[in-house]
Chains A and B, each alone.
Chain A
Amino acid sequence: MLRPVPDADGAPFWEYAAQGELRVQACGDCGELRFPPRPCCPHCQSFASEWRPVSGRGRVWSYVVAHPPLLPDYAAHAPYNVVVVELDEAPRIRLVGNLVAGAGQPLGAFPPENLRIGARVRAVFHDGLPQWVPERS
């Protein structure tokens, strides 16, 4: 499977994820959250930034179910879902991920018929990657 290849701006995200923490870059001056991470704030042009913890709760904004042709490692799991999750704290920050039944479950294991836009999800971590599981309410 492909591992993230972080750039300088993105590296802290992956370092926090490796510790089981979901954090989002925020401007160190005006406080606006931004994603993907980048060198300066598009609102106030400040180069100061911090990494703010978020709850890891959100909703499915959209999803796809991928079928071959795919890279071999991924084809082995196909068909599998990829979701975009909107965070509760910042609805316009949308993270790409996979919806799984539990941390570390294989990509293709979640039944595609159970996917729906608006479903509540929460972040779990496996092997340094945030994944998403259905929120049980």
Chain B
Amino acid sequence: MAAGSGGLKDATAVVGIGQTPFAKRLPEDERTLACRAVLAALDDAGIAPGEVDALASYTMEETDEVELAKACGFGDITFFSKVGFGGGGSCATVAHLAAAIVAGQAGVGVAWRSRKRGSGPRPWTDTTVQLPTPAQWTRPYGLLRPADEIAMLTRRYLHEYGATRDHLFNVALACRNRANQNPAAIMYERPLTREMYMTSRWISEPLCLFDNCLETDGALACVVVSAERARDCRRRPVYVHSAAQSLPAQHHGMVNYWNDDPLTGPAWSAARHLWKHSDLTPEDVDVAQIYDAFTPLVLLSLEGYGFCGRGEGGAFTEGGALETGGLLPLNTGGGGLSEAYVHGFNLINEGVRQLRGTSTAQVPDASACLVTAGEGVPTSALLLRS
């Protein structure tokens, strides 16, 4: 085990992934779905539930650690962690487990997310829980939903850089095309055309229906162990090569308009840390799973993680760059836009599948995959390698 000065680099690996079906409406509750995903991930790894001693999820996860550990028959838990800021937390759950294992606090970690967003209420409709900060400055004016907050940033982005809705469409299309190949995706066999995109209804101009992620019920989980332990597991290990969290200086969450430079969000500072602790560069990344609650977040992330220069995210998407065989195949399971929106956890599992060689849209010989969490909020990212 690489402890101490060795840091996290390749010291741990994801050895198991699991998930439930994804649907607009599933009959089981979030706790049951969580148990199913976690037990599936442990079975995939060939590790007995009694060996689990570390847990990590999101602060918005409603399946309590105590209940999960009891229901699934885990051993004594010696590390547990919850990451804040919604979709910004996805990759950090794996990073926290990796850190705990490297530090000797635990040996077998499970990260998970279970969510009934398809059939449950939209969080933004809860007017009784109006947080005074920062909602007092936005909600009275009708800036109510995450889509409105990101649309505001998008309008400025399009204005400042000359990007167009065609660029946003390129993102939506790449995700949909990959979902069309993935039987687990909600948008399996449901193609998207440019005409459908351009004539769809507005949600918050300049964002239309297809710029928004799905509303999904479902759960996912993965299992993290030391690189040494990983060699004895059932599947080929997928190493956690580098990991980052980021809450940039003077950041304001979804309403980053109050920052000096709102168009350089958390992706930029997460990327600095991620690449600094990596042997790889953006040119070495074979496939990317980029958080796509809204299409413009992908453009911002392409810039932030260094795949192109500032303001060039739109142009980067041209010529099929995000499609299979393109410069940077994107969200190969369909992403949040077309596979399932489970706060980005499906991007982690898809990254693992790519490096195992088992994706439904497999990039030949993929050996490095970037996975990111929500841009626009304090975020996290993983660089996985085979």
Contact = CB atoms under 8 A, between A and B. Distances in A.
Interface of A: 1-7, 9-10, 14, 35-36, 42, 61-67, 69-71, 74, 77, 79-80, 82, 84, 92-98, 107, 112, 117, 129
12 contacts: A5-B136, A36-B137, A62-B257, A63-B155, A64-B151, A64-B206, A66-B143, A92-B260, A93-B258, A96-B141, A96-B255, A117-B155
B265 to A, nearest CB: 15
Contacts of B260: 92
Interface string B200-225: 01111111000000000000000000
B142 interface: yes
Contacts of B255: 96
Contacts of B130: 2, 5
Given A62-B155, A65-B202, A82-B143, A71 B127 contact: yes
B141 A82 contact: yes
B139 interface: yes
A62 B153 contact: yes
B5 interface: no
Contacts of A79: 202, 205
Contacts of B148: 64, 66, 82
A112 B205 contact: yes
B32 to A, nearest CB: 28
Nearest to B209: A67
B201 A67 contact: yes
Contact of B134 (A3, A36, A93, A98): A36
Interface string B111-143: 000000000001001010010111111111111
Contacts of B257: 61-62, 84, 94, 96
Contacts of B136: 4-7, 10, 14
Contacts of B199: none
- Top 8 nearest A-B pairs (CB, nearest first) are A7-B132, A62-B156, A65-B205, A64-B151, A4-B136, A67-B202, A62-B155, A94-B257
B132 A82 contact: no
A102 to B, nearest CB: 17
A10 B138 CA distance: 13
B299 to A, nearest CB: 15
Given A10-B137, A64-B155, A82 B203 contact: no
A64 B132 contact: no
Most A-side CB within 10 Å, residue of B142, B159, B201, B202: B142
